[in-house]
Amino acid sequence: MNKQREHYRIAIDGPAASGKSTVSRQVAQQLKFVYVDSGALYRGMTWKAVREGVDVKDAAAVIDLMDRSTWDFLVEDLILKFTIDGVDPTDHLRSEPVRERVADIAVIQEVRAFMVARLQETAAFGDIVMEGRDIGSVVFPDALFKYYLDADPEERARRRHKELLATEGRGDVKEVLTSLTRRDQIDRTRKTAPLQIPLGARVINTTGLAIDQVVQRIVDEVNAHRNSSA
């Protein structure tokens, strides 16, 4: 039997609109690794709760709904996709009801345990780039590559506002800042797996940096490692 090398895991954590998603997607594309957006799972659970009329602050009801739903995962064009009870929630994950409730769903310990287990199972899909809040600290603490992306709150609000204008054609930058700050606060202060700089993560402040520069730095570091261990 051939001796197989260990799969690469690149963990990219950071607060909302720190550049994680764009950077992670591009790094995955360039390296031909599978891209995993862990936030999509928490958003998926939130979408399901909203759709079923379950109050996200009612942990018992959310857990019951989670236990009754079936999640299936697949990789399409090197991107992790999933369905909940056979429905692909992708188009709804960034909607207003979901983004205003997702941080409340993500504090529920049982929800986190479920999502962490699903995320760890994705390692079976091969080399992966996973972005989130607790990837380098909880999901893959032994990942060879860990990054923590950050940016000033005003810069993050400007970026998210720009995205909202593109997707929804509206948005107020002050409201976006308030919403991001609220979500950051919940994410940073929750008891289980709060947003933090994982041990051993390289911190990159992306304020004023071009996305390409950040992507290139990560790709170069991974390639240097691949070449040295080939």
Q: Which residues of this protein are in contact with ligand CDP, per CB under 6 A?
A: 16-17, 21, 38-39, 42-43, 102-103, 106, 132-135, 183, 187
Nearest to 156 by CA among 229, 99, 223, 205: 205
Q: Residues 180-215, buried b or exposed e (16+ Cβ, 10 A)?
A: beebbebbeebeebebebbeebeebbbeeeeeeebb
- Of 65 and 176, which has the nearer Cβ to ligand CDP? 176
| Number of residues assigned to the chain | 230
- Of 134 and 150, which has the nearer Cβ to ligand CDP? 134
Tokens of 5: 């090398």
CA separation for the pair 22, 50 (Å, rounded) = 27
Q: Shortest Cβ distance from residue 176 to ligand CDP (Å)?
A: 10
Q: Shortest Cβ distance from residue 186 to ligand CDP (Å)?
A: 6
CA separation for the pair 214, 206 (Å, rounded) = 8
Q: Shortest Cβ distance from residue 185 to ligand CDP (Å)?
A: 10
- Of 188 and 225, which has the nearer Cβ to ligand CDP? 188
DSSP 8-state symbol, 226: H
CA separation for the pair 145, 131 (Å, rounded) = 12
Q: Shortest Cβ distance from residue 132 to ligand CDP (Å)?
A: 3
Q: Shortest Cβ distance from residue 133 to ligand CDP (Å)?
A: 4
- Of 13 and 127, which has the nearer Cβ to ligand CDP? 13
- Of 163 and 221, which has the nearer Cβ to ligand CDP? 163
